[in-house]
Structure 1
Amino acid sequence: MARSAAAIWKRHRMMYALLLPGILYFTLFKYVPMGGIAIAFKQYRLADGIWGSPWVGMANFQRFFDGVYFWQILRNTVLISVYELAFGFPAPIVLALMLNEVRVAWFKRLVQSVSYIPHFLSWVIIYGLLIAFLSPGEGLFNLILARFEVPAISFLTEPEWIRAIIVGSDVWHEIGWGAIIYMAALTGIDPSLYEASRVDGATRWSQLWHITLPGIRNVIVLMLILRLGKVLDVGFDQVFMMLNNFNREKADIIETWVYRAGLQEMQLGLATAVGLFKSVIGFALIVGANRIAKKYDGQIW
């Protein structure tokens, strides 16, 4: 047994060498820092360090759950996540399916390039663009509204608009980048399936429903499972840039609250407890979604 294992190692040593940087990365930056989880159960003091700080058990979790803002920030986080999942998850799939039907090569490349460029823009730049378009004074949209004698709307400060802006800007930011994955999956579908279906008189919609979507089903399910694992990670950079005292009621999320509690108020034990709470929820969703996907594998579409 040991001899066969050594033979396998020798035969595939170059593949293992390629795996080494990834293993080192995840070990050093993902697994080793997990020792800091202990801070969630301590009254952490910088002078005493992690192991010198006194244990407080579940007190940090209790403080978070009993806090006056707990239900507000949890509701905001879940609602924004659900909206982004409902609109942001299918958007790249739809874009990839549409581009797959385009037969003009230069137009297809142009749309792809234009759609995934926003992924490389920071949220600071995007917020500057939003100000240019949505500000109540000289914003483009309000200038258009003024032409129709409609009162100016302060999109970035009114609570009624902020969730739609967060979700819409996130979809615009990620739709092109996400479509690349589905475009790659579409190239793996056997073209002979489409040829056979055309001989049988199948329409484009029939091909889409019975060939294209089943052909990328596994990729869709995988991306959905990964997305569910981050259901409580709305995106700190994005929300932090758009958050202000006027829209805080509808836009304040767990991550921005942790920033204030953990870094500004130095309640590091409380902030770590909240991070652990989010990780447990995300892990449970991933496991649950994976089991459901395996249970119904082959029964979708």
Structure 2
Amino acid sequence: MIDKLDFLLALAQERHFGRAADLCGVTQPTLSAGIRALENDLGVLLVNRGSRFIGFTAEGERVLEWARRIVGDARAMRQEVHALRHGLAGHLRIACVPTALSLLPALTTPYRTRHPAVRITILSRTSADILGMLDNLEIDAGVTYVDNEPVGKVRVLPLYREHYRLITAANGPFSDRDSVGWADLGDAPLCLLTPDMQNRRIVERMLRQAGIEPRPQLESNSIMVLVAHIRTGQWCAILPERLAETVGSGGELKTVAVTGPAMVPTIGLVVPSREPMLPLTAALVGEARRIAEDGAA
């Protein structure tokens, strides 16, 4: 039954029979037959079908919840049994909001030192995407904002508080200043992340609290695109302090303190709220706890 539940989870992820089959490494007829066999076993219709995938029935949505638990438990069992004999090995999948990507080496480098047989994949995703991917077992852990918007039924480990700085070129806007107030940024040539990014929503809220209606002249979902524009000397951006210091450390860019009342959201590690925890994930939680306790983040 596990393989059929895997088919169902893949369909929930891809919302398309062909792509779900590709994800599972089977043909589309094999996937469709597997899901129909599952429906026959359970005696209910799970998927609304037409010429294409339409959605899940109410019974299908409930079975999806069970599928996540059962498949998650099966993966945990396999990992634990393997780890008892051979140590941790396998594939650890992490998704992270773009503004926190500079934190990840503090997590993954000691993790790799302790568990060299584990292969790690890191994806840059929005906070909403991260929660959806966790729910659908597409990733093992996420690094995201944990106290600004609801995070749902996940286990949360706070890592650090996010402060903000203006980043500009050495000869760019506000480069002659040591600090700037939120209210001073009304006419600034800002480039910001796109509105689907939680960082953008946080920055906009702080600007509005200072009486400024945000009107960025450029937006992108890529930090590298923002930095490339800032380097021209014609743009500036508001970024988390940790990220601003990372991208501005080469001398071409300058970071300027942003003063005045501001939100201080928390970045944390989120993992599925389930027991037993996947051994690969439990080891990552251990690294995160060390970071939080040592203040190394």
TM-score (norm 2): 0.20
Higher fraction of strand:
2
Does 1 or 2 have the higher relative contact order (CA < 8 Å, sep 6+)? 1
| CA radius of gyration, larger in | 1
TM-score (norm 1): 0.20
Higher fraction of helix:
1
